[in-house]
Amino acid sequence: GAVVSQHPSWVICKSGTSVKIECRSLDFQATTMFWYRQFPKQSLMLMATSNEGSKATYEQGVEKDKFLINHASLTLSTLTVTSAHPEDSSFYICSAPDRGSAGYTFGSGTRLTVV
């Protein structure tokens, strides 16, 4: 089945620095990638939708200048958390529609800790 590879699986960074998270579709072309954030004991909240070759669509309340999303190719979407703060510490996970199964394929997630 379709596989989305997400890296890194965990990262610790200092306040004020930027962190890039990558999601690659390994055996299919992901024209769309959804980025979610999940705080402890909470649900997955959609942050933005990236589309290959066009600007990402952000959900209400998500700062597009802070969470930069790039989808430059059909197999790679990236999320950059800029000027990270401790409150950005969370589990970030990407997901792509799986055209084959008509479901969704999830990356393995990235645990971001900002100190």
Partner 1 sequence: GENVEQHPSTLSVQEGDSAVIKCTYSDSASNYFPWYKQELGKRPQLIIDIRSNVGEKKDQRIAVTLNKTAKHFSLHITETQPEDSAVYFCAASSPGNEKLTFGTGTRLTIIP
Per rule CB under 8 A, is residue 113 in the interface with partner 1?
no
Per rule CB under 8 A, is residue 108 in the interface with partner 1?
yes
Measured CA to CA, the distance from residue 36 to residue 65 in angstroms comes to: 16
DSSP 59: P
Which residue stretch of 22-30, 65-73, 82-90, 103-111 sits at the interface with partner 1 (rule: CB under 8 A)?
A: 103-111
Least Å from the CB of residue 53 to partner 1: 17
Site string for partner 1, 11-50 (x = CB under 8 A): ---------------------x-x-------xxxxx--x-
Find the length of the chain.
115
Going by C-alpha positions, the residue among 22, 25, 33, 44 that lies closest to residue 90 is 44
Distances (CA, A) of 109 to 36, 48, 62, 114: 9, 15, 19, 16
- Please give the backbone phi and psi of residue 87, each rounded to the nearest 5 degrees, phi first: -70, -10
By beta-carbon proximity to partner 1, the closer residue of 49 and 82 is 49
Per rule CB under 8 A, is residue 76 in the interface with partner 1?
no
Q: Count residues binding partner 1 (CB under 8 A).
A: 20
79 contacts 92 by C-beta, under 8 angstroms: yes
**Site residues (CB under 8 A) for partner 1?**
32, 34, 42-46, 49, 91, 93, 95, 97, 102-104, 106-109, 111
